[in-house]
Amino acid sequence: MRTYVVTGGAGFIGSNYIHYMFNKYNDEIRIINVDKLTYAGNLENLKDVEKRENYTFVKADVCDSEAIGKIFEENDVDRVVHFAAESHVDRSIKNPDVFVKTNVLGTLTMLNAAKAAWENPDGTFKEGKKFLHVSTDEVYGSLSNPEDFFYETTPYDPHSPYSASKASSDFLVKAYMDTYKFPANITNCSNNYGPYQFPEKLIPLTINNALHGKDLPIYGDGKNIRDWLYVEDHCKGIDLVQEKGRLFETYNIGGHNERENIRIVHIIIDTLKEELDDSDPRKALVSDKLIKYVTDRKGHDRRYAIAPDKIRKEVGWYPETKFEDGIRKTIRWYFDHQEWMDHVTSGNYQKYYEDMYSNR
């Protein structure tokens, strides 16, 4: 039975990945979820797997080399899928330090622990061991020519403290692959959306605010473009890269689904109106009139767009979920999980929202 260490498994993509993997492999794998449970980590995301015998949760910081080393000493770990990170660009602009700590030093700690456990005395690595570093398209910077796309060969040009910290972590993984032939892959993915996404990000924030008749904040002119991918498609891509990808390679994962932010918000409003019953009092609250243009994000990247040619050609991955279907599924998930949303928006979230959006 193969053993996976999944870091950041209580977050948005990590928890979707754990669900995806148990749905696909059921009892054939074991997952150890290592998460510090920051504001973004939520064990409620994993309620339906927590009683499985082949699932373990360990509360630990990826920067804590002792705690991480112990996990590798006590378990014969075959795979690492490293999601744990500070992930929100706006927070990185206000408070960069924790981004460097978790994203850079945390990645280094994970690399060192896996290397110590997997390296043979002659410097080769044990058969079948693999580390997958989950990264972002933001490391490539911003595209200005509408005909350009991000390829694996596109030079790194990060602009925010978040993307700079992710770029640094990618370089560390690359350095370990080049220097030690450490068995790893990097995936650089575009914007994800779907169930369990924390409502600091554009899509869940818009859904939640619209249902409460609150302003829908649009940064700048609303014409920044992101390339949206349904989270399950990302999880499938990660698994395929570990199963079929070539070691030491980077794979870009993206949706070929570029949209301006303002367009995304209009689609959400229209879909909410279609999905809500006439008798539902929230229907009257959802309106284009809630859209409010606010001060732009500092250093706001204009356009991201992934060319997923390599991953399609080499491992047969492609984005399966059309945006209109994915957003409908996502909205229905949020309808069915109002309690989840109530929990994550209580307490500290109110203060975060105040700090980020009042007088903006």
Site residues for ligand DAU, 90-129, by CB under 6 A, read none
Residue 261 binds which entry of ligand DAU, ligand NAD, none, CB below 5-8 Å type-dependent: ligand DAU
Distance CA 261, CA 257 (A): 12
CA distances from 256 to 187, 308, 323, 329, 354 (A): 16, 8, 10, 19, 34
- Which phi and psi (to 5°) does residue 82 adopt? -100, 95
Give the per-residue contact string, 73-92, with ligand DAU (x = CB under 6 A; - = no): --------------xxx---
Residue of 21, 33, 41, 185 interacting with ligand NAD (CB under 6 A): 41
What's the min distance (Å) between Cβ of 136 and ligand DAU? 3
In terms of Cα–Cα distance, which of 251, 265, 192, 203 is closest to 12?
192
Instruction: Pinpoint the alpha helices (H) of 26-160.
Output: 65-74, 89-94, 97-99, 106-118
3-state secondary structure of 58: strand
Residue of 5, 78, 81, 87 interacting with ligand NAD (CB under 6 A): 87
Is there binding between residue 297 and ligand DAU (CB under 6 A)? yes
CB-based contact 190:226 (threshold 8 Å) = yes
CB-based contact 210:216 (threshold 8 Å) = yes
> Could you give the residue numbers annotated as active site?
137-138, 162
Residues contacting ligand NAD: total by CB under 6 A: 30
Residue 205 binds which entry of ligand DAU, ligand NAD, none, CB below 5-8 Å type-dependent: ligand DAU
Is there binding between residue 224 and ligand NAD (CB under 6 A)? no
What's the min distance (Å) between Cβ of 340 and ligand NAD? 13
Reported as type and span, the H/E element at residue 354 is helix 348-357
Q: Pick the piece of the chain touching ligand DAU (CB under 6 A) from 107-115, 199-207, 313-321, 339-347.
A: 199-207
In terms of Cα–Cα distance, which of 237, 131, 244, 226 is closest to 188?
237
Is there binding between residue 35 and ligand NAD (CB under 6 A)? yes
What's the min distance (Å) between Cβ of 216 and ligand DAU? 8
List residues binding ligand NAD (CB under 6 A). 7-8, 10-14, 35-38, 40-41, 61-63, 83-87, 102, 106, 134, 136, 166, 189, 191-192, 198
